[in-house]
Amino acid sequence: MSRKVPDKISNHAVENLGDVWTDFGTLISKFTKISRLNSKRAHLTLPQAWALQVISTRKGISPKEISTYSGTTLPSITDLLDGLSALDYIYRIRSNEDRRRVEISISENGKERLMKFQKMQQSMTEKLEKSLNIEDMSAFSKIITTMVKVLSTMEETDGE
């Protein structure tokens, strides 16, 4: 027995809320798959592309800050940074203020790889945007904003 739940966005009836969540999971899966293909074409792994993105937006970020931001363990981030350093995509620099602190910066080679990946991701985004009208984009934006707020609150309360 399915119950119809009014869809607040477009006033359509949703037959099964489980299907909505299944579709959402499919969306995430397909987006990740295409992003992984784009990173491969840019000669990066998806975690490397993500790390370069974070490093490029924060001058002198520490490995611990990257770990905290990503929710990934510090040893895993260190391994990721070792690989990026070996490829000459990042620099590790000791802080002048605190010699124990290591600051990570992106190199020119890293910027080139990241730009290649970002151009492919931008192309994918533009194709998605062209398939949606303004109302759909507005609704999607509101939904994403709400979900991020709820998940952030859950994260702060240990998932409850």
Answer whether residue 129 is part of any domain. yes
Burial of 77 from C-beta contacts in 10 A (0-12 / 13-18 / 19+): buried
Q: pTM higher than 0.85, yes or no?
A: no
Answer whether residue 4 is part of any domain. no
Pick from 128, 133, 93: nearest CA to 10: 133
Enclosing domain of residue 85: 11-156
Task: For the chain, give the mean pLDDT.
Answer: 88
Q: What is the CATH number of the domain that holds 113?
A: 1.10.10.10
At 132-144, the pLDDT tens digits run: 999 998 998 999 9
Answer whether residue 130 is part of any domain. yes
At 34-54, the pLDDT tens digits run: 999 999 999 999 999 999 999
Answer whether residue 3 is part of any domain. no
How many folded domains does the chain comprise?
1
* pLDDT at site 60: 87
* pLDDT at site 12: 57
Answer whether residue 1 is part of any domain. no
Answer whether residue 85 is part of any domain. yes
Q: What are phi and psi of 9, to 5 degrees?
A: -75, -55
Query: How many residues are given for the chain?
Result: 160
Answer whether residue 91 is part of any domain. yes
Answer whether residue 6 is part of any domain. no
